[in-house]
Structure formats: C-alpha cells, structure tokens
Amino acid sequence: VNFASREACNRCQAGKPMTRAHAGGRPIAGVDGNWACGECQNVNFASREACNRCQSAKPMMAAFRGRTAVGRPIAGVDGNWACAE
C-alpha cells in the first residue's frame, strides 16, 4: 500500500492509478487527502500546502491521517492506494 503522495509504487514503480481528484472537479474534504481550511472552510486538494482562498497553512494533523499507529498507509484512506501489479 502506498501513501497518496506517491506517484509510483514504492516497490515496483508502477504508476499511480487515476482517481476522481486527478480527473477534475471540485475536491471533497477527507477524500484522497483533500482538506478543509480551519479558517475559511474552503476545501483544498491534498497537494496544496496552503488554502487557495485565504492562504492559511495546511493543518499539521492532515499529514498524519490515513496511517496506522506505526505509520503504515491504509489502502483507500485519504487517497492511499494499493498497487495493482
């Protein structure tokens, strides 16, 4: 299982499959690592480090979601993905 931020599999280097967030459209908070700004409630894509509306920094806790207690990714949570290869 790979973290959402990876564009290729950590083991075999196969490409990341396309998801709704990459295909276009508005981001949905909590899907594929997308996050809601704590200041203005705007929903931002996971790749943003600051809100695109008010420029508030991405919350630190957003970086730790989708992991087990020991830091491994969980497939399907916050955009983490399992390699098909």
In this structure, what token pair is assigned to residue 31? 């899907």
* pTM of full prediction above 0.75: no
Burial class (CB in 10 A: 0-12, 13-18, 19+), 6: middle
- State the pLDDT at residue 23: 54
pLDDT at position 22, please?
47
Task: Please give the angle made by the CA atoms of 73, 80 and 18, to the nearest 5 degrees.
Answer: 160
Q: What is the pLDDT of residue 21?
A: 47
How buried is 62 (Cβ within 10 angstroms: 0-12 exposed, 13-18 middle, 19+ buried)?
middle
- Are 49 and 58 spatial neighbours (Cβ–Cβ below 8 Å)? yes
Question: Using an 8 Å Cβ cutoff, are 75 and 68 in contact?
Answer: no
31-69 pLDDT per residue, tens = 777 888 889 999 999 889 999 999 999 887 655 555 555
Strands (E), 1-85: 35-36, 43-44
* 8 Å CB contact between 64 and 52: no
pLDDT: which is higher, 22 or 12:
12
